[in-house]
Structure 1
Amino acid sequence: MRSWSLAILLTLTGCSTGAGEIEGSTQPEPSASPSVATAAAAAPTPTTDTEGQPMRVLVTGFNDWRDLGDPANVWRCRDNPSCRLLLGDATEQEPSEFHGPLAERLRARAPDIEWRFATMPVTWEAFSDVPADVDVIVNIGLGIYDRFDVLQLEAGAYNQREGADALGQARSEPISATAPEVLAAPQQGPIPTRLDALAGRSFGSFEVVVAPARPANTYLCNETHYHALEAVRAGKGRLREVYFLHIPYAETSDYTPLAEATTDLILALTPTAHE
């Protein structure tokens, strides 16, 4: 399995930093650092022939980022719902298995898909090496604090990083010095169409909203999505679609309603066999 560092935090929302094993991965295809694309670029054609292979979808969450001790244990998953959805019970260790309510539901509902899971620590540049051996990536982070009934998809990423990560490393700079203010998904590709179709829908008691790239969202979740969009634009490997989903805390200690709604949304984002 491949270890890779992932970091995340939000200014008003929370995600996490570190390097973790991706469950289900074999020998990953190498992914070069993607070049920055302009907002007007068309969707690239993936360079890998995947005909006859199962769809591969990577779903990630973030570990805790507050009060991690000294030295900071960036693998602790106790308070962050995005990692608890994938892992289930609270843990202090880097995970090797994923049996949380979201992971189990995705496997059961779509057994023909090759599901891969990872949790990430909250550190800058944790997701700079984006896996290119999967078809779809859905990164999930805690990011809704004023409601318990919203799932927020991000449309584009803002070219700025601000704040200190889980290890106290502070940044205040553009993600790419030569890129535009906003990095959008390729307009001719499937990502904008799926976001438009899901805006305003409900899954269980959860409403789906779509938020544009914005100066108020410049923490690690935004940086993670920025790097993912760069990778799609670069057209490396088999990667076709990337999404970032902000979730709320579970309203109670029962993660079932949040897991069920998130499962429905991820399956709605996943291409069908005839696409």
Structure 2
Amino acid sequence: MGTELAVLGLLGLSALGCSSSVAELDDTARIDGPRAAQVDAARPDPDQPILDHEGQPMRVLVTGFNDWRELGEPPNVWRCRDNPSCRLLLGEPRTSEPRDPSDPRDHAGPLVQRLRAAAPELEWRFATMPVTWEVGTPVPTDVDVIINIGLGVYDRLDALQLEVGAYNLRQGADAAGVARTEPINPDAPAILAAPDGSPIPARIAALTGRTIAGYELLAASARADNSYLCNETHYGALTALHAGEGRLEAVYFLHIPYADSDDYDALADGVAGVVLSLVGRE
């Protein structure tokens, strides 16, 4: 199965790095957490019913990325060993693509276990993606929420960062060695924000500044130095959301650090808390 077809199956069924480090963000890129009153106003009401589609359970797609460095020749873009975002979903290291994306045994990592246990009433889908340009295209719109996760916090082990909007730029060489430096959409402005009226800004604001399972929640605005695969993937997801097709209601991108001392259980605790908050199941 080719890489593109395999990824389409994964998304449909179930860098350098992805980003600059937190320390490199200037004051214009950082977003301070809201005051307590703002948090109370922005946080979703836990008593409100979870959104669904025509009486169906809410369908949530959570993705991670495979490795992108030292992949051999030809590069094995399906290897998952060093990237914590795929290890959270798959668990043990892998060297090949999933056999059957619809088989829950193929995605049995610590994050998957926590999400399924905490919110079994939701329809969870999971996928890992090669770090190759346009890997997230087309964006699946048969889900209600997409939460893409990628490695992107390099100077701390106790912070998680939500991205606020996406920057209209892709640059760098991907895991297959393909180099790009160009706007994602030549006809669009520099920054793509969430659609007007979307719940995304309020949910991010409600989380910013909080600590979940020992991880501080940060938020960062779209910026030129975040222009690798993570940004391209989020830009595509936001574009699909603006198009208003299918049942897609919200998209998020969460940057994570390496697992401290390879403790993926601890990292999964923090990431699961964020994911559950974003879908109203904290």
Q: TM-score, normalised by structure 2?
A: 0.81
Question: Can you list the C-alpha shifts for 1:195-245, whole angstroms capped at 9, x where unaligned?
Answer: 111110110110000000001101110000000000000001000000000
Please state whether the residue corresponding to 2:120 is helix, strand or coil: coil
8 Å Cα contact 2:200/2:250 also seen in 1: yes
CA contact (8 A) 1:20 1:118 kept: no
Counterpart for residue 144 of structure 2:
135
Unaligned runs of 5+ in 1: 7-17, 27-48
Task: For 1:5-154, list aligned pairs within 5 A.
Answer: 5=4, 19=7, 21-22=9-10, 25=13, 50-95=53-98, 96=100, 97-154=106-163
In 2, are the aligned partners of 1:81 and 1:249 still within 8 Å (CA)?
yes
Q: Say yes or no: does 1:200 pair with 2:209.
A: yes
- List per-residue Cα deviations over 1:123-151 (Å, max 9, x = no partner): 11111200000000000000011000000
1:215-254 aligned at under 5 Å gives the runs: 215-254=224-263
**Matched AA of 2:68:** W
In structure 2, what residue type is equivalent to 1:215? A
- Per-residue CA deviations over 1:34-79 (Å, capped at 9, x if unaligned) read xxxxxxxxxxxxxxx9221011000000000011111111000000
- CA RMSD after TM alignment: 2.0
**Structure 1 equivalent of residue 21 of structure 2:** none
Does the 8 Å CA contact 2:12/2:140 hold for their aligned counterparts? no
Aligned-partner residue type, residue 184 of structure 1: A
- Name the residue aligned to 1:41: none
Cα gap change, 1:107 to 1:4, in 2 (>3 Å): farther
Cα deviations by residue, 1:160-196 (Å, 9 ceiling, x for unpaired): 1111101111111100010011000013110011011
Residue aligned with 1:246, SS = strand
Looking at structure 1, the residues matched to 253 and 11 of structure 2 have their Cα atoms a distance apart, in angstroms, of 19
Q: Distance in 2 between matches of 1:129 and 1:152?
A: 25
Q: Distance in 1 between matches of 2:71 and 2:8?
A: 17
Q: How many residues align?
A: 238
Structure 2 unaligned spans of 5+: 15-51, 101-105
Counterparts of 2:8 and 2:159, CA distance in 1: 28
Secondary structure at 1:224 match in 2: helix
Contact kept in structure 2, 1:20 and 1:120, CA below 8 Å? no
Q: 2 CA distance for matches of 1:177 and 1:93?
A: 35
What CA distance in whole angstroms lies between the structure 2 residues aligned with 1:267 and 1:5?
29
Any conservation in 2 of the 1:5–1:127 contact (CA below 8 Å)? no
Kept in 1: contact 2:81–2:93 (CA 8 A):
yes
Match of 1:172 among 174, 181, 202: 181
Residues in 1 aligned to 2:231 and 2:112: alpha-carbon distance in whole angstroms: 23
The 1-side partners of 2:150 and 2:198 are apart by 24
Judging by fraction of residues, say which structure has more helix: 2
1: CA distance between counterparts of 2:3 and 2:278? Answer: 24
Separation of aligned partners in 2, 1:113 and 1:255: 23
The match for 2:164 among 138, 141, 155 is 155
TM-score (norm 1): 0.83
Runs of 4+ in 1 over 6 A off after TM superposition: none
Return closer, same or farther for 1:183/1:23 CA change in 2, 3 Å cut-off: closer
Q: Secondary structure at the match of 1:19?
A: helix
CA distance in 2, matches of 1:20, 1:202: 35
Residue 44 of structure 2: aligned partner: none
C-alpha contact (below 8 Å) 2:132/2:229 kept by paired residues: yes
